[in-house]
Amino acid sequence: MGTIDVVLIMAYSVSFICALLLMAALFLYFRRRIRARVISLFMLAAFFFLGAYTVKMAVAFWLRFSSAAGTDAVLASLHSRAWAFAQAGTTFGLIILTMLMYTKRRDLFIVLSDLKKWR
């Protein structure tokens, strides 16, 4: 394993740990907001994006670590599919956040008591 591999593994690890800590903080935020029965759509989109990013960092770490150990065709296919799934989720989250930012609708909220009417 070369120097670049070690640096990338360290960077992916730090990114993954930070993303997990942020997800935990957002989870606590959403617990409070659900009790208040109102959730910010912007924060929900950010949570979705961060969740996809966390998966992406886990897959990146897995790819980098397994490339040093050698892989077979089935594992390479799993890597590719996991990366595509994580990238699609990250892209979808970015699209939502971008739309909310550029339409200046950052203050949209979902009132959870209104969701019962839709059932």
Domain that holds residue 89: 3-118
Predicted pLDDT at 74: 65
State the pairing for strand pair 109-111/38-40. antiparallel
* Residue 116, pLDDT score: 56
C-alpha distance from residue 59 to each of 48, 49, 71, 107, 116 (Å): 17, 15, 14, 33, 37
Do 61 and 12 meet the contact criterion of CB atoms below 8 Å apart? Answer: yes
Q: Write down the pLDDT at residue 83.
A: 76
The pLDDT assigned to 82 comes to 78
Can you tell me the distance from the alpha carbon of 40 to that of 107, in angstroms, rounded to the nearest whole number? 7
Q: pLDDT at position 6, please?
A: 79
CA angle at residue 24 from 96 to 83, to 5 degrees?
55
pLDDT of residue 50: 86
Each residue of 7-59: pLDDT tens digit? 877 777 787 888 888 888 888 888 888 888 888 888 888 888 888 888 887 87
Number of domains forming the structure of the chain: 1
Taking the C-alpha atoms of residue 102 and residue 84, their distance in angstroms, rounded to an integer, is 26
Is pLDDT above 60 for 114?
no
pLDDT tens digits for range 60-70: 777 766 755 55
Nearest CA-CA partner of 61 in 23, 93, 14: 14
- pLDDT tens-digit map of 77-103: 777 777 777 778 777 877 877 787 788
The residue with greater pLDDT, 111 or 14, is 14
